[in-house]
């Protein structure tokens, strides 16, 4: 149920709603068969909800044939060797590009082969551990000096130099290429602002002060490619990067084979000899392939298959708190949402617990109409908003909108959105208003009327607060201003600029707290929940850690370098 | 001699009708895909479409021409073996999904080659052993199997043979890069078996009914009276006359396979036209949709044509009528 952190994924590349519906059938049959007791392994009921704390496989019955079960996936000494088989939903639209993605499968292949300058720590603070820079220093809020780590080489053996960094940033700034890796950069940097200082150092002069610029450098698609790099167009040898694995073969819509990068800089890693990334069109087949030991890890599984995986010895579900969210957006400059009381009433109509249960099958956390939950600056101290139908009715009456009838639009190609609007329409009846849930064809939804509708929905991945504001909450500059925020008279945009210019974390937090308070009190987004990331894996794979994350499978094991097979 | 001419004329007429059918299908397919909601350029670019990029892509895809021009252009391409380029992948369709068509045909042929003899045997033997325990049991089992949709059969197979009870066979097909499905015959077992289970009950029931009808006819009675052994009566005298309806049901089943493979392919992650069709509908890759639907229609028309011709050829009554 998780969506991708890079906003702008083309929706509907995989129609996951249908896949999930299909899966529930399979899961039901699997559960029924298990209930028949046809096999001793299914004595553990497939319907047990929580992951078993003592998940040590019995050894004899493990279908994987591995004799050395381990208690937690992170334990054990990493063993070198073997072929990791990764299953993902994908299809004929897959691409490989070090700085661009279209589908989930593309993200996996990108992370396998390329790396950004910096990376987020587990607490989502920019750090250097998994990045190619050893230092990024702000001379001023609009002037950053990037210094590369020493001795890093591309997979073809050539050293990574300042020229490659200059090329990488220039490529991402190319408007015609419209690369996702450059989606943030293009608004703050011009090609003229990039200059090489020496072989290891590049200076980036921004168009304005951007105090959180390092966060932009942490985006996995904001990656370094060698000079002259272009997208995969048939020849695997062109796909040179610094990542743990390099492309050997790729058949679009079927499978890609990646081999160990012999020049990898992170000493001792990676462990597998090869990584095979295999496309599936159907989530049932993905789970079946895992349970038949044809793949080792399955990225992004439907919630309906969680019980099936947990009920099978030798397999585990990785249930990580993600920062992705779905939203119902109210255009604050269109009737009836110009009246703040109507917006407040709509937010009080939502039964958030029911949303998590019914839309996410329980695999999510209740949200508070605010985004960026993984950001250290998230305003977690604001009281949790709960359903209050009486107050909602009163606000609507005060606004003269009792008995309101309104259409709420959603696309049919993105899992969760149709379910969310239908549930909201139900809940709205309690406040005496009529919400018509209009689930329409995805191609039409994302067409000309997208971002113009009064009452609609959208989906977002994880971003830190200020990046998210830039992406969606500034109606004149954001690419996706869902709720046409801010309304006339608001100081929000000025506050945003002040926060961008403020390099002192404490002082910046004061400003972002004020902005979040404003969004919480009067904003146009209903954010009912944050989604979890759900994956499944064979317990012979070790190194996966269940923690808050922006990408599935523990950030795809950072390009698989953190994972290995147990002895 | 005149007999042969009659048959040839009949075949020619059926062929002409088949071509006409395909032509009508092409008009329907073209119109229907034109009527799909939303613009393909918009669908390809999705949420990131800008007005400029949409109009640029429309021009590139030739969407600004009239529908009639697009149709004739497309039809010409289909007839001359150049169905055009995929909107989405921007490469010729045959390069893009040619392998997938071959993979699906391989699965279809394999399923047909196995299911037809099996069904003939079950049906023929059931007719001979009419109302015995064998007949009763096999009839009821067949009826039960016929009532199961193939995704249920497929899931049960996977649970039984791959993931739950035994771990004998792969749950999904794993055809290596650049290889044909014949390189992974183990992976073919379950998809093929699923299709066979879907087809055998239908064919065998028709074989059985048809055989029973023929076995009660005068000429079989005659053959028996002249002392021919039961086996000879069954296979030489009865079967050819019972084959007419059987050909028809086989043709229908092959056509059903062509559609059934879409479900089965998804279930077993088999790289055939099913996945390609799904992907292309999702991104409004209209040339690919049109090509695949025409391929399916052609399979349908050709198998039915073959069945009609075969029926005429094996049935003495029909053969003499067309003279």
Which of A20-34, A63-77, A79-93, A221-235 has the least mean pLDDT? A20-34
3-state SS assignment for residue A159: strand
Q: Radius of gyration (Cα) for chain B, nearest Å?
A: 24
pLDDT at residue B233 in the model: 84
Cross-chain CB nearest to B269 (options A63, A285, A413): A285
What percent of the residues of chain A are helix, what percent strand, and what percent coil, each to the nearest 5? 30, 20, 50
pLDDT at residue A390 in the model: 96
Cross-chain CB nearest to A10 (options B48, B159, B171): B48
3-state SS assignment for residue A204: strand
Residue A70 has pLDDT above 90, yes or no: no
Cβ of residue B63 closer than 8 Å to a chain A Cβ? no
Residue A14 has pLDDT above 70, yes or no: no
pLDDT at residue A76 in the model: 60
pLDDT at residue A264 in the model: 97
pLDDT at residue A45 in the model: 30
pLDDT, average across residues A36-44: 30
Under a CB-based contact definition with an 8 Å cutoff, are residues A549 and A362 in contact? no
Mean pLDDT computed over every residue of chain A: 85
pLDDT at residue A19 in the model: 27
Which residues numbered 99-128 in B keep a CB inside 8 Å of some CB on A? none
Contacts of B171 in chain A (CB under 8 A): 285, 288-289, 291-292, 294
Residue A38 has pLDDT above 60, yes or no: no
CB neighbours of residue A135 within 10 Å? 14
pTM of the predicted model as reported, rounded to 2 decimal places: 0.81
Cα separation, B240 vs B260, in Å, equals 29
Under a CB-based contact definition with an 8 Å cutoff, are residues A282 and A307 in contact? no
Name the percent of chain B lying above pLDDT 90. Answer: 10
pLDDT greater at residue B241 or residue A344: A344
Judge: A413–B282 Cβ closer than 8 Å, yes or no. Answer: yes
Of A273, A359, A375, give the one whose Cα is nearest residue A323: A375
Under a CB-based contact definition with an 8 Å cutoff, are residues A469 and A496 in contact? yes
For an interface test with B, which of A4, A6, A289 has the most B Cβ atoms less than 10 Å from its Cβ?
Answer: A289
Judge: A11–B49 Cβ closer than 8 Å, yes or no. Answer: no
What is each CA distance from A83 to A178, A271, A359, in whole angstroms? 34, 9, 36
Judge: A291–B163 Cβ closer than 8 Å, yes or no. Answer: yes
Cross-chain CB nearest to A29 (options B39, B159, B176): B159
pLDDT, average across residues B286-303: 87
Judge: A284–B176 Cβ closer than 8 Å, yes or no. Answer: no
Residue A3 has pLDDT above 50, yes or no: no
Q: Each residue of A387-399: pLDDT tens digit?
A: 999 999 999 999 9
pLDDT, average across residues A47-56: 32
Q: HSE, CB side, 13 Å, CA atoms: give it for residue B243.
A: 22
Residue B316 has pLDDT above 80, yes or no: no
Cα separation, A564 vs A556, in Å, equals 12
**DSSP structure class, residue A447:** S
3-state SS assignment for residue A434: strand
pLDDT band for A533, please (50, 70, 90 cuts).
very high
pLDDT band for B66, please (50, 70, 90 cuts).
confident
HEC profile for chain B? CHHHHHHHHHHHHHHHHHHHHHHHHHHHHHHHHHCCCCCHHHHHHHHHCCHHHHHHHHHHHCCCCCHHHHHHHHHHHHHCCCCCECCCCCCEHHHHHHHHHHHHHHHHHHHHHHHHHHHHHHHHHHHHCCCCHHHHHHHHHHHHHHCCCHHHHHHHHHHHHHHCCCCCCCCCCCCCCCCCHHHHHHHHHHHHHHHHHHHHHHHHHHHHHHHHHHHCCHHHHHHHHCCCCHHHHHHHHHHHHHHHHHHHHHHHHHHHHHHHHHHHHHHCCCCCHHHHHHHHHHCCCHHHHHHHHHHHHHHHHHHHHHHHHHHHHHCHHHHHHCC
- CB contacts < 8 A, A to B, total 147
pLDDT band for B242, please (50, 70, 90 cuts).
confident
Judge: B152–A29 Cβ closer than 8 Å, yes or no. Answer: yes
Cα separation, A332 vs A328, in Å, equals 12
pLDDT, average across residues B9-17: 88
For an interface test with A, which of B39, B41, B44, B46 has the most A Cβ atoms less than 10 Å from its Cβ?
Answer: B46
Query: Phi and psi (nearest 5°) for B154?
Result: -60, -45
Judge: A280–B269 Cβ closer than 8 Å, yes or no. Answer: yes
Residue A25 has pLDDT above 60, yes or no: no
Name the percent of chain B lying above pLDDT 70. Answer: 92
Which of A23-37, A68-82, A235-249 has the least mean pLDDT? A23-37
3-state SS assignment for residue A141: coil
3-state SS assignment for residue A324: strand
pLDDT greater at residue A39 or residue A341: A341
Contacts of A251 in chain B (CB under 8 A): 177-178
Mean pLDDT computed over every residue of chain B: 83
3-state SS assignment for residue A201: strand
pLDDT at residue A73 in the model: 43
Contacts of A22 in chain B (CB under 8 A): 151
pLDDT, average across residues A24-46: 32
Cross-chain CB nearest to B275 (options A42, A281, A413): A281
Contacts of B47 in chain A (CB under 8 A): 8-11, 446, 450, 480
Cβ of residue B248 closer than 8 Å to a chain A Cβ? no
Which of A17-26, A229-238, A298-307, B63-72 has the least mean pLDDT? A17-26
pLDDT at residue A355 in the model: 96
DSSP string, A235-268: -GGG---SSSEEEEEEETTTEEEEEE-TT-SSTT
Cβ of residue B174 closer than 8 Å to a chain A Cβ? yes
pLDDT at residue B288 in the model: 87
Which of A106-120, A479-493, B158-172 has the least mean pLDDT? B158-172
Which of A5-9, A81-85, A163-167, A509-513 has the least mean pLDDT? A5-9
pLDDT at residue A27 in the model: 34
For an interface test with A, which of B40, B41, B42, B47 has the most A Cβ atoms less than 10 Å from its Cβ?
Answer: B47
Beta strand pairing status for A274-280 and A83-89?
parallel
pLDDT at residue B260 in the model: 78
Judge: B171–A291 Cβ closer than 8 Å, yes or no. Answer: yes
Terminal Cα-to-Cα distance of chain B (whole angstroms): 10
Distance from CA of A473 to the nearest CA of B (A): 17
Distance from CA of B134 to the nearest CA of A (A): 27
pLDDT at residue B45 in the model: 65
Q: Each residue of A223-256: pLDDT tens digit?
A: 999 999 999 988 999 999 999 999 999 988 889 9
pLDDT, average across residues A417-443: 94
Judge: B38–A281 Cβ closer than 8 Å, yes or no. Answer: no
What is each CA distance from A306 to A47, A109, A242, A292, in whole angstroms? 9, 25, 35, 16
Cross-chain CB nearest to B48 (options A8, A281, A413): A8
pLDDT at residue B47 in the model: 61
Cross-chain CB nearest to B37 (options A11, A252, A441): A441
Contacts of A257 in chain B (CB under 8 A): 177
pLDDT at residue A290 in the model: 95
Q: How far is CA B185 from the centre of its chain?
A: 20
Name the percent of chain A lying above pLDDT 90. Answer: 69
Contacts of A413 in chain B (CB under 8 A): 282
Cross-chain CB nearest to B46 (options A39, A254, A446): A446
**DSSP structure class, residue A234:** S
Judge: B48–A253 Cβ closer than 8 Å, yes or no. Answer: no
Residue A31 has pLDDT above 60, yes or no: no
Under a CB-based contact definition with an 8 Å cutoff, are residues A157 and A133 in contact? no
CB neighbours of residue A238 within 10 Å? 16
Cα separation, A158 vs A147, in Å, equals 18
Q: HSE, CB side, 13 Å, CA atoms: give it for residue A287.
A: 32
Beta strand pairing status for A201-206 and A143-148?
antiparallel
Using a 10 angstrom Cβ sphere, with 0-12 exposed, 13-18 middle and 19 or more buried, the burial of residue B169 is middle
pLDDT, average across residues B201-212: 87
Judge: B172–A291 Cβ closer than 8 Å, yes or no. Answer: no
Contacts of A10 in chain B (CB under 8 A): 45-48
3-state SS assignment for residue A390: helix
Contacts of B280 in chain A (CB under 8 A): 92
Which residues numbered 130-159 in B keep a CB inside 8 Å of some CB on A? 151-152, 155-156, 158-159
CB neighbours of residue B143 within 10 Å? 11
pLDDT, average across residues A172-196: 90
Contacts of B39 in chain A (CB under 8 A): 443, 447
pLDDT at residue A408 in the model: 97
pLDDT band for A278, please (50, 70, 90 cuts).
very high
Residue B181 has pLDDT above 50, yes or no: yes
Sign of the CA dihedral running A34, A40, A46, A47: positive
pLDDT at residue B68 in the model: 83
CB neighbours of residue A176 within 10 Å? 6
pLDDT at residue A9 in the model: 31
pLDDT at residue A64 in the model: 34
């Amino acid at each position: 149920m998780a969506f991708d952190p890079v906003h702008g994924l083309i929706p509907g590349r995989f129609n996951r709603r249908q896949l999930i519906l299909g899966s529930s059938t399979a899961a039901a049959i699997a559960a029924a068969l298990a209930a028949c007791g046809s096999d001793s392994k299914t004595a553990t009921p497939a319907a047990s909800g929580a992951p078993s704390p003592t998940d040590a496989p019995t050894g004899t019955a493990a279908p994987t044939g591995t004799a050395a079960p381990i208690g937690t996936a992170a334990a054990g000494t990493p063993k070198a060797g073997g072929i990791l088989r990764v299953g993902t939903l994908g299809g004929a639209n897959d691409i490989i590009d070090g700085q661009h993605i279209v589908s989930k499968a593309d993200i996996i292949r990108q992370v396998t082969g390329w790396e950004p300058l910096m990376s987020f720590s587990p607490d989502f603070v920019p750090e250097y551990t998994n990045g190619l820079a050893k230092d990024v220093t702000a001379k001023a809020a609009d002037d950053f000096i990037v210094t590369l780590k020493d001795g890093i080489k591309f997979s073809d053996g050539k050293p990574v130099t300042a020229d490659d960094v200059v090329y990488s940033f220039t490529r991402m700034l190319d408007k015609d290429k419209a690369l996702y890796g450059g989606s943030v950069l293009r608004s703050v940097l011009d090609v003229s602002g990039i200059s090489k200082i020496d072989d290891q150092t590049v200076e980036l002069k921004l168009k304005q002060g951007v105090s959180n610029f390092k966060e932009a450098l942490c985006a996995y698609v904001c990656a370094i490619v060698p000079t002259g790099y272009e997208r995969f167009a048939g020849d695997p040898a062109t796909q040179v990067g610094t990542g743990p694995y390099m492309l050997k073969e790729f058949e679009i819509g079927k499978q890609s084979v990646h081999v160990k990068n012999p020049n990898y800089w992170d000493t001792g890693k990676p462990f597998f000899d090869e990584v095979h990334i295999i496309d599936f069109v159907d989530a049932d087949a993905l789970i079946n392939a895992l349970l038949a030991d044809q793949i080792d890890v399955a990225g992004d599984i439907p919630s309906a298959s969680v019980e099936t995986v947990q009920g099978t010895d030798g397999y585990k579900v990785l249930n990580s708190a993600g920062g992705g969210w779905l939203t119902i957006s109210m255009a604050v400059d269109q009737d009836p949402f110009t009246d703040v009381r109507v917006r407040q009433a709509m937010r009080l109509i939502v039964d958030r617990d029911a949303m998590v249960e019914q839309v996410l099958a329980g695999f999510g956390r209740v949200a508070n109409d605010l985004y960026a939950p993984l950001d250290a600056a998230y305003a977690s101290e604001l009281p949790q908003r709960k359903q209050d139908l009486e107050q909602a009715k009163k606000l609507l009456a005060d606004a003269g909108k009792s008995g309101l009838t309104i259409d709420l639009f959603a696309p049919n190609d993105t899992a969760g959105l149709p379910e969310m609007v239908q549930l909201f329409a139900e809940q709205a009846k309690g406040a005496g208003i009529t919400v018509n849930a209009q689930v329409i064809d995805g191609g039409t939804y994302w067409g000309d009327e997208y971002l113009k509708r009064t009452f609609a929905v959208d989906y977002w991945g994880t971003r830190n607060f200020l990046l998210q504001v830039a992406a969606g909450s500034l109606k004149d500059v954001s690419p996706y201003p869902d709720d046409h925020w801010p309304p006339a008279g608001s100081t929000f945009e000025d506050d945003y600029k002040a926060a961008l210019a403020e390099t002192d974390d404490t002082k910046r937090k004061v400003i972002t707290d004020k902005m979040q308070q404003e969004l919480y009190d009067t904003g146009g987004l209903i954010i009912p929940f944050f989604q979890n990331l759900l994956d499944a894996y064979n317990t012979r794979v070790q190194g996966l850690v269940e923690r808050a994350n922006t990408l599935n499978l523990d950030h795809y094991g950072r390009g698989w370098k953190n994972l290995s097979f147990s002895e | 001699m005149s007999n042969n001419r009659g048959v040839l004329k009949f075949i020619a007429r059926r062929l002409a009708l088949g071509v006409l059918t395909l032509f009508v299908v092409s008009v329907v397919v073209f119109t229907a895909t034109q009527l799909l909601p939303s613009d393909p350029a918009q669908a390809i670019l999705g949420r990131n479409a800008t007005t400029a990029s949409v109009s640029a892509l429309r021009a590139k895809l030739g969407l600004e021409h009239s529908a009639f021009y697009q149709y004739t252009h497309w039809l010409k391409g289909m007839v001359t073996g150049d169905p055009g380029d995929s909107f989405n992948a921007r490469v010729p369709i045959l390069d893009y999904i040619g392998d997938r068509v071959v993979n699906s045909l391989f699965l279809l042929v394999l399923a047909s080659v196995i299911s037809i003899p099996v069904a003939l045997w079950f049906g023929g033997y059931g007719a001979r052993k009419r109302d015995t325990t064998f007949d009763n049991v096999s009839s009821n089992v067949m009826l039960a199997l016929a009532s199961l949709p193939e995704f249920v059969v497929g899931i049960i197979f996977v649970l039984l043979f791959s993931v739950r009870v035994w771990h004998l066979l792969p749950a999904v097909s794993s055809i290596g890069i650049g290889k044909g499905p014949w390189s992974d015959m183990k992976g073919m077992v379950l998809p093929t078996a699923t299709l066979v289970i879907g087809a055998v009950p239908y064919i065998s029931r028709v074989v059985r009914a048809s055989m029973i009808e023929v076995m009660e006819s005068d000429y079989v009675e005659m053959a028996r009276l002249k002392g021919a052994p039961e086996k000879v009566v069954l296979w030489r005298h009865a079967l050819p006359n019972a084959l007419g309806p059987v050909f028809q049901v086989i043709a229908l089943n092959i056509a059903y396979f062509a559609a059934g493979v879409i479900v089965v392919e998804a279930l077993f992650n088999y790289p055939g036209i099913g996945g390609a069709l799904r992907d292309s509908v999702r991104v409004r890759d209209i040339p690919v949709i049109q090509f695949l639907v025409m391929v399916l229609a052609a399979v349908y028309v050709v198998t039915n044509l073959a069945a009609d011709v075969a029926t005429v050829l094996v049935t003495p009554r029909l053969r003499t009528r067309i003279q």
